[in-house]
Each structure stands twice: as structure tokens, then as C-alpha cells.
Amino acid sequence: MQNIQLNNLVRSATFFQHAGISMVFVFMPLIAKGVTSSIFEIGLIIASFSFAQILSEIYFGRHSDKKGTRLKFIRIGFIGCAITFGLHYFADDITLLFLVRIAAGVASGIMIPAMIAYTYEANIEKRRAATVISFHALGWLAGIAAAGLASDLKLLFMMSAASFTIGLIFTFKMPNPVQEKEIEPGTTKKVISKNKFLFTSLLLRHVGAAAVWTIFPIMLMEKLGAELYQVSIVYVANTLTAFILMNLMASKIKISNVTKFKMGIGCTTFVFVGLSIITEWWMAMPFMALVGGTWAFLFIGGNFHLMDNNPRSTSTGIFSSTISIATVIGPVIGGSIAFVFDYIAVMYFAIAVIIVGFVVSLKIKAEKINEVPI
């Protein structure tokens, strides 16, 4: 009973954490378009958030393992996000928007690795942690849906800050267990070296995806005539599928974590093949559902494989920062390709780079014999 109560608290905190992030993140291309008309500069604004996350996740993820504690970093992250996302409200020119995006990236990076590690460690039966982590996707669903109903994009920033504040409140009831301290020098380099094929394939997959997400909301509205709420509907198909599949992984889908990860990387290719040929906004929905499925597989499979075999907060911090690196590179490439060619050319780039990522993922070694597939 006590573990159920703890998981419910973590579910709630995770939900509001990712609702707060998603409200702003998904619509950032449209928000950035309000301060600059340059697709390239929009890409840079989006990349600035992820660039800050890279350093933050690696540093604070490792620091969490060194200290043997998670909750302090989770709470600091919530407080920082409530402040920095709220400050977006006052960012009415390109310079201010850059600055608040960087600050928000640092704040969110403080808590992401610690939150994943805390969730994993709170469950004796590790596969049950997938149901808790699934509220990551449910939070994105709720955040995107709420954002689609907002009458004013600036209102999103206040809603986001409120979401982080609510999430912080739930953490006050969470216990603060102390883990064994991981103080061995050179740990980060060892984790990267040991899992180089996983991180490389994740990086390539997410570079392709991030390139597309930079231009996708704009493409839906400008080329396919979607309204803001219709963009939300398209993205909800993504997050709803991810939520359902993450929960099924706790009971029904029992394949190895490495296989899950490889499936998630490879099947993403079909998403962008589909999005390259759609002619109406609603046609994007099945392909966004598919990308939600691929995300669920690679996120759970990749993170759980890492935590089974490496210092947990350090390895999940590198996983998250790898995604952040891709979200720096991807928007710059996506914005540049769209500027020189068109939106569909960005899809072709994504397809090519993700195929390479899948080939790299085939080199990942199978899990240890004593690991239980989830």
C-alpha cells in the first residue's frame, strides 16, 4: 500500500512536470515566429533550450549519483522551472526569448535524470516503473491539449508555471531515500564508452525527429490549413499512444529492453515517410500515433537497459542530454533545409538519418542473462 501511495505521488509530479514543459515546447516554433520571421532564427531559439539542457542534465545527473540523493534535485528543478517558464511571458523580443529559453533548459535539466532514477528505484519490481513513467506521456498529452484550448499563446507561460508549482507540491510528500554514492572518477566517460552504440543511434534518430518538429507545426498551419486546436489534436495522438504502450509494458509487452529500443529507432522511419506524403492536417494523426509508439519503446527500453547496467542518474542524464544534443542540432538543420528547399525536404533528411541510426543500433549488445525483460 505504501509503495502504491508513493507511485501515485511520483505519477502526479511526473504528470505536472511534463505538462508544464509540453505546453511551451510543442508550440515554441509558433511562439518564436512572433519575434522573428526567419525560419533559421526560429531553429536557433528552439535549439537554445536544448543546448542548456545538455550541460545541465550531464552535470546534475552525475551530481545526483555522487550525492546519493534524488529529491533535492527534483525540487530545485520544479522551483527553477516555475520561475523560468513564467518569465517567458515577458520575452517580447528575440534576445529575451533566447535568454529565458536557456534558463528554462538549465532548470528542467536539473530534475529530469533524478526523476527517472527516483521512479526506477522506488519500485522493487522494476517493470512496474514503466506505468509511473508513462505519466510523462500523459503530462505531454494534457499540456498539449490545454495549450490548444488557450486563446492567447502568452497565456501558455502562466499555465506552464502553475503546472510546475503544482508538481512541486506533490514532491513535499515524497520520501527522500539515500542511495549508495557513486564517486568513482571517470564514470561519465565509462558509461558513454560502454553504451556508445545506444547513444549514437539515439542521437541520430532524434536529430531527424527534432529537425521535423521544428517545422511541423508551421507546416500544419501554413501548408495544410490547420487551426491551433487541430495542431493539438495531431500531437495528442502521439502522447496518448505513448501513454497506453508504456502501461502495457508493465504487464503485456514482455520483450527485452534492447529489442524495444531497436524497434523504437527503426520504426520511426515509417513516421516521416508518411508525413512526407500527407495532403490534409488530419492525415498526420496515424503517423503521430506511430511516433508515440516508437517513443514509448525506445524511451523505456533505452532507459531501463541503462539503469540495469550503469549508475542510474548518470546514465539517464546522458540519455536525456543526448536527446538535448539532437534537439540543438536538429532544429538548426531543419530550419536551414526548410529555408533553402522546403518542408518536405526536412522529412527526407529525417528518413535518411534515422535509417543510419537503426543500423548503428543493431550493434548494441543484448542484455545480461539475469535481466528480466519488461
Q: Residue 273: is its pLDDT beyond 90? A: yes
Among residues of the chain, what percentage have pLDDT more than 70?
Answer: 92
In 3D space, the residue among 205, 203, 209 whose CA is nearest the CA of residue 324 turns out to be 203
Structural domains of the chain, with CATH: 2-174+183-361 (1.20.1250.20)
- For the record, the C-alpha cell of 362 comes out as 543493431
The predicted structure's pLDDT at residue 123: 67
The predicted structure's pLDDT at residue 373: 42
The predicted structure's pLDDT at residue 285: 94
Residues 308-343: tens digit of each pLDDT: 888 887 888 889 889 888 988 898 899 889 888 889
Phi/psi class of residue 310: alpha, beta or left (left: φ > 0; alpha: ψ in -120 to 50)?
Answer: beta
211 band by pLDDT with thresholds 50, 70 and 90: very high
Residues 154-187: tens digit of each pLDDT: 788 999 999 999 999 999 988 877 776 666 666 7
Q: Which position has the higher pLDDT, 367 or 98?
A: 98
In 3D space, the residue among 278, 270, 268 whose CA is nearest the CA of residue 219 turns out to be 278
Alpha-carbon 159 to chain mean position: 19
Q: Which position has the higher pLDDT, 201 or 244?
A: 201
**Alpha helix segments (H runs only) across 26-126:** 28-32, 39-67, 71-87, 94-121
Residues 292-308: tens digit of each pLDDT: 999 999 998 998 899 88
Residues 128-161: tens digit of each pLDDT: 677 777 888 888 888 877 877 776 777 889 999 9
Q: Which position has the higher pLDDT, 214 or 122?
A: 214
